[in-house]
Amino acid sequence: MRSATLILCLLLGSAAIYAQQSQKSSLPSEPSEKKFWGLSLALASATIYDVETTFAGLGNCRDCAEANPIMRPFVKNGRPATYAFTMGVSGAEIYFARKLRKRHSKLWWLPLAAGTATHVVAGSANLRFVFK
């Protein structure tokens, strides 16, 4: 849990610094900026929720294993490896959404919303093993 808190603090701290630096760029209006950072925070939170429920479920169930073949090697190597991979993927989604936003695409929010929804659904599916 400490590592999750540390990662969240680092993510939020770097987001604040990046937001201050990005005020000079040619990005869309301020309300759009707030939506971008709100969706980015939602994605990071959903990622943490998914990882923590995965490990809680694996801790409560002896016969359980990670079903996702892409995530299985990271989960077997523990929380740090899992967080490194999942936060890296989430960071790539945030970067891609920001690129779309700079190009004034109306679909800039889609990668963030899709990633958030995916992690919320996966984390919620994990809850059946947490409270087993």
39 touches 110 (CB < 8 A): no
pLDDT for 3: 57
How far apart (Å, rounded) are the C-alpha atoms in residues 30 and 23?
Answer: 9
Handedness of CA 130, 118, 36, 40 (dihedral sign): positive
What number of other Cβ atoms are within 10 A of residue 58's Cβ?
17
SS3 of residue 67 by DSSP = coil
pLDDT for 120: 98
How far apart (Å, rounded) are the C-alpha atoms in residues 98 and 41?
Answer: 14
The chain-wide mean pLDDT, for the chain, equals: 85
Mean pLDDT of 16-41: 70
Per-residue model confidence as pLDDT tens digits over 79-129: 999 999 999 999 999 999 999 999 999 999 999 999 999 999 999 999 999
Residues contacting residue 76 through CB under 8 Å, at least 6 positions apart? 66
48 touches 117 (CB < 8 A): no
